[in-house]
Amino acid sequence: MHDLSPLARFGGLVATDLLDVTSDPSALDTSGFWAVSADFEGRLVCARFGRVREEPVPAPAPGAWRGPAAGDWTSSLDRAAYTDGVRRVRDHIAAGDVYQANLCRVLSAPIAEGADVDALTALLARGNPAPYAGTIRLPGHGVEIATASPELFLRRTGRVVESGPIKGTGRTEADLLEKDYAENVMIVDLVRNDLGRVCETGTVTVPDLCVVEKHPGLVHLVSTVRGELRPDAGWPGLLAAAFPPGSVTGAPKSSALRVIDALETAPRGPYCGGIGWVDADRGTGELAVGIRTFWIDRSEGVLRFGTGAGITWGSDPEGEWRETELKAERLLKVASGTYAPSDGSPSCCASPGDDTRAPGRASGQDGAHGTTSQGETQ
């Protein structure tokens, strides 16, 4: 919808008055306030806005967002294909190709022509608040994203950079396994190496390791990696060293990317990329890992959402499938719901008769709970 004006929201800031759009990361070291979207496959969109003001995310407006019905979601990988993919990743681990690889699937559902991601943002802010929530609406440039990301990819304050990789997910802390802790440490080591490519020798540290963080409906293990950029390193070098985020690729990263390319059947797009803002005038910026993220694909007329899990030798295929469902469950219910004027919150339930047990189905194929039928969601 080209008649939707360009806009970006991050926390309590909203940016308007679009000035420039570029794919050159060196622009982030010049001047102005930039919204940044980096697709997992490498497409970079940097949009400079002329006006930035403090403004809370508005309350949901009745009828402003009409999301897909719960039964409309389809998955790029159904349950059988995903669990088979987990087994194939374990084969690669046994062969010594990788230590860990993330396996993801992309969910899609038809969306109304006039759908506005900023209206979805209002629902997400109340139905699934997140520390790195953000919105980038650039219809003329093919970018319409609403993220409820809990994960920090890169934060920069002057020369100091920080990353907060998440590995390990459960409904409660008691669900976290030894495998989750091992996986987190493995990815922390990868992120340390990434930042070490552009940071001063000896400055890369891990202030926090495997801290349990509570988020809506689940818990994560989160670590912090910090370093000081070399004088000759700016955003281009930082992005080149750290992208794509290690927590959503695997280790070694180059080998994991080859495994991902062979097993996944749909591009990730903004999902698992980087989404956020850079204030070049102040030398600050904050990019989230593009997880818990919705984006509109106007060419296909669909809303998309990604979910995945990190696979190690200790992974159970069915358990990893369930983890992808857990990560998506709450978000899809919010996106498929409607505003409830009685209490000012989104309805997390679909219309009567829809099955909302699990996030996504593959049309005509077996899903999480058996063969799907019309109107059900797997």
Residues serving a catalytic function are 151, 167
Whether residue 170 contacts residue 187, with contact meaning beta carbons closer than 8 Å, is answered with: no
Q: How far apart are CA 249 and CA 187, in angstroms?
A: 9
Per-residue tokens: 217: 């409906």
Residue type, 222: V
Whether residue 148 contacts residue 128, with contact meaning beta carbons closer than 8 Å, is answered with: yes
Give 134's strand partners: 10, 147
Lookup result for tokens 């200790």:
314
Per-residue tokens: 293: 């993220």
Residue 65 CB neighbours (<10 A): 25
- Phi and psi of 34, rounded to 5°? -120, 140
Per-residue tokens: 85: 């993919």
Lookup result for tokens 């496959």:
41
SS3 369: coil
Q: How far apart are CA 254 and CA 261, in angstroms?
A: 11
Whether residue 80 contacts residue 363, with contact meaning beta carbons closer than 8 Å, is answered with: no
Lookup result for tokens 């990788």:
98
Query: Among residues 329, 291, 295, 287, which one has the least CA distance to residue 310?
Result: 291
